[in-house]
Structure 1
Amino acid sequence: MNGSRRIAGVELGGTKCVAVLATAQGEIIEQVKVPTTVPDETLPALQAALRGWWEPGGFDAIGIASFGPLQLDPAAGDYGYITATAKRGWRDAAVLQPLTDGFGVPVAIDTDVNGAAAAEGRWGAAKDLVDYAYVTVGTGVGVGLIVNGRPTRGLGHCEAGHMHVARLASDDWGGNCPYHGACVEGLASGPAIAARLGIDGSQVRSDHPVWDTVVEALAQMAQALICAAGPRRLLLGGGVLSDRPELITRIDGRVRTLIGSYLTLPDRGLVTPPGLGALAGPLGPIALALDATA
């Protein structure tokens, strides 16, 4: 793809959305941030941002990276829709057509975490790998699982954040997931911590036992991913972990203990922060569009 081409993207997140205009090298030209309220407010505002870039100079492709679950089967009648989300007002919301209608350029859509994983694979901490995972721990627990260079499909995209894991003996809290109670997301996400303690996770002291639960849930999920799909690196980010690097170190250690000597693990770089940091999200839809039009 010619480096002079301009790529547009939209990252749909649980609390905010970002419209992005960038080069094919991942250099961001402009961003517009929009609060995630309800579809009838948020999507037109994002489409207006795209229209503002289209009319003066145009762009060559659009990528959409959205929170989910998403229908990603092009043959399905609800292709490009958000499906069974816990986000109020967004269940069964169409996102692909309202954002891309009228532009007439190639379009790619995937989950926000698969987008971030694609960005890390193109420009970040996974650019030398074809088997890896990007995990974000924030409003939810999302997993972008890349196997042989492509995000997993099948019944749907990866939903490892909703798996059940064994609990610590001292922990019998019922969890916060509206679908699964004490799944990984129901134990380790930002809303789960806030629901459990009554305060935001950023205000919780570093030695609070809730972090033992967070580490254990995420480490068991990581162990399952490694045993099932063999990612060579797991990139852990999101609001819960971004300000607490010690948790990533603890998760790495716990994963190694859980797996033991059964698998040969790399000495370093198994569980690490994302290489792109906060840019992994907004560059995600750009990477999706580039991958789809390569």
Structure 2
Amino acid sequence: MKFRGNCQMALLGAIEAGGTKFVVAVAPVEKPEAVVARESFPTEDGASTIKKVQEFFDQYEDIAAIGIASFGPIDVKPDSQTYGYVLDTPKRGWSGYNFLGAMKTWRDIPYYWTTDVNAAGWAEYVSGSAADVDNVVYLTVGTGIGAGIIANGEFVGGYSHPEAGHIMMAKHPQDNYEGHCPFHGDRCLEGLAAGPAMEERWGVSAKELPDDHLAWQIEAFYLAQAAVTYTATLRPERIVFGGGVPHRDILLPMVRQSFAEQLHDYLAVPKLEDYIVSVGNGDNAGIYGCFYLAKELLVD
């Protein structure tokens, strides 16, 4: 690959913008995994948080490009009047905030603007658990649920980015929970299976639930149901699970078992141990994805 300008000493920037915390980092263009510096801080309102982001990057003059992976929903249509904005969100001080515009005003360099799950999914596609395939669904299950979808090496998107965490779900027969999603209640995946839904349903965080608790059977049922939906509609070569909830070792084997039961041999899929897998880059997936995407902006 040929890069514009002198990238021998240049740096890439990464902004992983979460609803709970921001992570910012820099790394060399030639080796994005070799993180030079990294910092995190709680997410406040837009202006206050971006000021801290800019103060971090002010320490580095040789930043060639920055990848921004933001919580959503965001406007990703380049021809839109609100391109680069955070759209309506319950996060205070962010609805209608011109995130990308604020960064461009601070420093006029190339920026790759996408969702947090797209960036993490791209990292898995480049160097993680999906590095050997061209079609992948990356699903993060944590404070919320979202998906980065890559088909034939390109992000899936149209009118906007996918909101695959809000697909409609059939409830588990033993689940009476009313749902956490403020828009869909107990009708969508995020409302039933995100971390806050588990805590609200059972009265303790997922980390405190024992392996033999009914919670994990119900969680596996919902995640498997989502995987069946993505399989039927997108036909990916791999589904990668990231986020805090899938850290529990027993969960993915249960998801595979429930997936097999719910799919009921309707479609041919790879061996389930190779098809439904854990994230390969761990907690670095979002940052690495930002670096990889920023680096693409420098290729002639």
1:130 aligns with 2:155: no
Within 1, Cα distance between the matches of 2:220 and 2:90?
A: 23
Taking the TM superposition and a 5 Å limit, the aligned residue runs for 1:279-290 are: 279-290=284-295
AA aligned to 1:228 is T
Q: In the alignment, which residue of structure 2 is the partner of 1:245?
A: 249
Q: What is the deviation of 1:173?
A: 1.6
Within 2, Cα distance between the matches of 1:154 and 1:109?
A: 15
SS in 2 for 1:214: helix
Q: What is the deviation of 1:117?
A: 0.9
Residues 93, 195 of structure 1: CA spacing in aligned structure 2 closer, same or farther, 3 A cutoff? Answer: farther
Q: In the alignment, which residue of structure 2 is the partner of 1:47?
A: 54
Query: Which shifted more, 144-153 or 281-290?
Result: 281-290
Q: In the alignment, which residue of structure 2 is the partner of 1:80?
A: 84
Within 2, Cα distance between the matches of 1:187 and 1:88?
A: 23
Residues 45, 247 of structure 1: CA spacing in aligned structure 2 closer, same or farther, 3 A cutoff? Answer: same
Q: What is the deviation of 1:133?
A: 1.2
Q: In the alignment, which residue of structure 1 is the partner of 2:37?
A: 30
Q: Give % identity.
A: 34
TM-score (structure 2 length as normaliser): 0.91
Q: In the alignment, which residue of structure 2 is the partner of 1:15?
A: 20
SS in 2 for 1:250: helix
AA aligned to 2:219 is V
Q: Is the 8 A contact 1:47 1:98 kept in 2?
A: no
Query: Can you list the C-alpha shifts for 1:144-173, whole angstroms capped at 9, x where unaligned?
Result: 011111111112111111111111112132
Q: In the alignment, which residue of structure 2 is the partner of 1:181?
A: 185
Gaps of 5+ in 2: none
Within 2, Cα distance between the matches of 1:101 and 1:19?
A: 18
**Residue of 140, 149, 158 corresponding to 2:153:** 149
SS in 1 for 2:67: strand
Q: Is the 8 A contact 1:82 1:95 kept in 2?
A: yes
Aligned length: 290
Gaps of 5+ in 1: none
Q: In the alignment, which residue of structure 1 is the partner of 2:279?
A: 274
Within 2, Cα distance between the matches of 1:62 and 1:287?
A: 10
Q: Is the 8 A contact 1:18 1:31 kept in 2?
A: yes
Q: What is the deviation of 1:111?
A: 0.4
AA aligned to 2:11 is R
Q: What is the deviation of 1:65?
A: 0.3
Q: Is the 8 A contact 1:132 1:234 kept in 2?
A: yes
**Residue of 202, 210, 214 corresponding to 2:207:** 202
Within 2, Cα distance between the matches of 1:138 and 1:115?
A: 16
Residues 291, 223 of structure 1: CA spacing in aligned structure 2 closer, same or farther, 3 A cutoff? Answer: farther
SS in 2 for 1:65: strand
Within 2, Cα distance between the matches of 1:75 and 1:85?
A: 22
**Residue of 59, 63, 87 corresponding to 2:63:** 59
Q: Is the 8 A contact 1:46 1:99 kept in 2?
A: no
Q: In the alignment, which residue of structure 2 is the partner of 1:105?
A: 109
Query: Can you list the C-alpha shifts for 1:73-111, whole angstroms capped at 9, x where unaligned?
Result: 011111111113232332222211223324222111100
CA RMSD of aligned residues (A): 1.6
Residues 231, 293 of structure 1: CA spacing in aligned structure 2 closer, same or farther, 3 A cutoff? Answer: farther
Query: Which shifted more, 80-89 or 70-79?
Result: 80-89
Q: What is the deviation of 1:209?
A: 1.7
AA aligned to 1:31 is R
TM-score (structure 1 length as normaliser): 0.93
Within 2, Cα distance between the matches of 1:173 and 1:33?
A: 34
SS in 2 for 1:74: coil
AA aligned to 2:210 is R
Q: Is the 8 A contact 2:129 2:279 kept in 1?
A: yes
Within 2, Cα distance between the matches of 1:166 and 1:217?
A: 8
AA aligned to 2:70 is S
Query: Can you list the C-alpha shifts for 1:12-54, whole angstroms capped at 9, x where unaligned?
Result: 0121111110123322111121211221221110111112112
Q: Is the 8 A contact 1:110 1:288 kept in 2?
A: no
Q: Is the 8 A contact 1:47 1:100 kept in 2?
A: no
